[in-house]
Amino acid sequence: MLSGTVLLLLFLVLMFMGIPVAHSMIITGYVTLKFIHPEIPTIIVAQRLFGGMDNYILLCIPFLSWRAI
């Protein structure tokens, strides 16, 4: 519960500082990995992120929108 509150506050502080939303989310995620869950290796996160994007079904989305034009 405390970690969620800290992360939300960090995200809001970064937003009020004028940092774009995408960058605020990346920084908040990095802080989560390094300080709240240090037992998770960073390479595992990168592999899971790429594995989630490397999906054949997701390729259909741009083709469907192109076909509708």
Give the pLDDT confidence score for residue 69 in this predicted structure. 53
Give the pLDDT confidence score for residue 13 in this predicted structure. 94
pTM beyond 0.75: the answer is no
Residues 1-59 have pLDDT tens digits of 677 888 899 999 999 999 999 888 888 888 888 887 788 888 887 887 777 777 777 66
**3-class SS at 47?**
helix
Give the pLDDT confidence score for residue 16 in this predicted structure. 93
Distance (Å, whole) CA 3 – CA 45? 19
Q: How confident is the model at residue 65 (pLDDT cuts 50, 70, 90)?
A: low
Backbone phi and psi for residue 2, each to the nearest 5 degrees, phi listed first: -65, -40
